[in-house]
Amino acid sequence: MDTEEYAFTISEFGKRTTTTVRTLRFYEKLELLIPTKQNASGHKLYGFKELTKLQQIQSLKFLGYSLQEIKNLIDNDSDTSQQLEKSLPWQHALLTEKRDELNRSIEAVEHVQFLLKEGKPITWKVLSSLLFKMENEQDQLEWVKEYYPEDVAEQFVSLPKEQRAQMDIEMLDWLSTIKQLMRDGVSPHSPEAFEVAVKLSEIAMKHVGDKEELAKQMQKAQESMKADSVNFTFPTILTQEEEAFLEAIAKSIKALYGENVDQE
């Protein structure tokens, strides 16, 4: 029997092709798949011509093309191989970017799950800071390179995954200590507060080779940033109150250090 004799209503065609009626109507609305025949009752009929086009649509969807891109490809009368040869490299690049983005998202989910499993408190502010750091790692590296030598900049972001996870644990433990000191009303001039500042420095410098050289570079970077009037800050795990408390500690240490220098 001639295949052209086969014709199905939209519901029958949908069942045979495992495609919903809603999807078929949407394709018709987009002028992607328009049945050309009707039965005596005026119902549109789908045959093997429509099946062939539906298979084209499904194949291109599998390759990640949007419906509009699919329409452009199908409506184009040029050679199929030429069309694909021209469009597939772009499609490959797009899918690769999506895959990399998805992998970063999976890594972020696993990292947060790890921290929660370790019993670390995750607030929305902490979560925003962690995710921003992971999502914009390359941008942050470029930003750091503007103010630090490349070899120094690499030390900020080139740590292995395990070491970065450990640093986050230590930072969250440090943050818990800050919160506890503030709840207890501890003075920023106290030895306990000074220990918090020292601990932060230890965490930041833990995986740095030449700590003295890094300190010099950080001082230069701070001067450059002031000269450039940089007013952008990355999301931080600290609240404004905690930042103020830490600044007060830093001022106390600086004042004490200055007095000791004068006495010497």
pLDDT digits (tens, 9 = 90+) for 86-143: 899 999 999 999 999 999 899 999 999 999 999 988 888 888 888 887 877 777 667 6
- Is there a contact between 141 and 157 (Cβ–Cβ < 8 Å)? yes
Give just the sign of the alpha carbon dihedral 9, 15, 21, 25: negative
Chain region(s) in the chain for CATH 1.10.1660.10: 3-77
Separation CA 101–CA 107 (nearest Å):
10
Separation CA 122–CA 127 (nearest Å):
6
pLDDT score, position 61: 94
> Average pLDDT in the 16-20 region?
95
List, in order, residues 6 or more apart from 208 with CB less than 8 Å away.
Answer: 155, 214
Separation CA 26–CA 29 (nearest Å):
5
Q: Give strand ranges (E) for 7-151.
A: 37-38, 44-45
pLDDT score, position 124: 86
- Is there a contact between 125 and 237 (Cβ–Cβ < 8 Å)? yes
Q: Name the range with the highest mean pLDDT among 18-32, 69-83, 146-160.
A: 18-32
Mean pLDDT check: name the lowest of 19-23, 50-54, 75-79.
75-79
> Average pLDDT in the 216-238 region?
60
* pLDDT classification of 159: cutoffs 50, 70, 90: confident
From residue 235, how far is each of 46, 94, 128, 160, 240 by CA, in Å? 56, 29, 7, 22, 12
> Average pLDDT in the 198-211 region?
75
Percentage with pLDDT > 90 across the chain: 46
pLDDT score, position 1: 42
Query: Across the strands, what pairs with 45?
Result: 37
pLDDT score, position 208: 64
* Mean pLDDT computed over every residue of the chain: 83
> What is the dihedral angle through the alpha carbons of 53, 58, 61, 67, rounded to the nearest 10 degrees?
40
> Which overall architecture, per CATH, does domain 3-77 show?
Orthogonal Bundle (1.10)
Give just the sign of the alpha carbon dihedral 197, 219, 221, 142: negative
Mean pLDDT check: name the lowest of 11-15, 128-132, 175-179.
128-132
Q: Judging by beta carbons within 10 Å of its beta carbon (0-12, 13-18, 19+), is residue 106 exposed, middle or buried?
A: exposed
User: What single letter denotes the amino acid at residue 115?
Assistant: L
- Is there a contact between 238 and 126 (Cβ–Cβ < 8 Å)? no
Q: In this structure, how many other beta carbons lie within 10 angstroms of the beta carbon of residue 264?
A: 5
Residue 245 has pLDDT above 50, yes or no: yes
pLDDT score, position 2: 47
Taking alpha carbons only, the member of 204, 179, 203 closest to residue 193 is 179
pLDDT score, position 40: 86
Percentage with pLDDT > 70 across the chain: 77
Residue 81 has pLDDT above 80, yes or no: yes
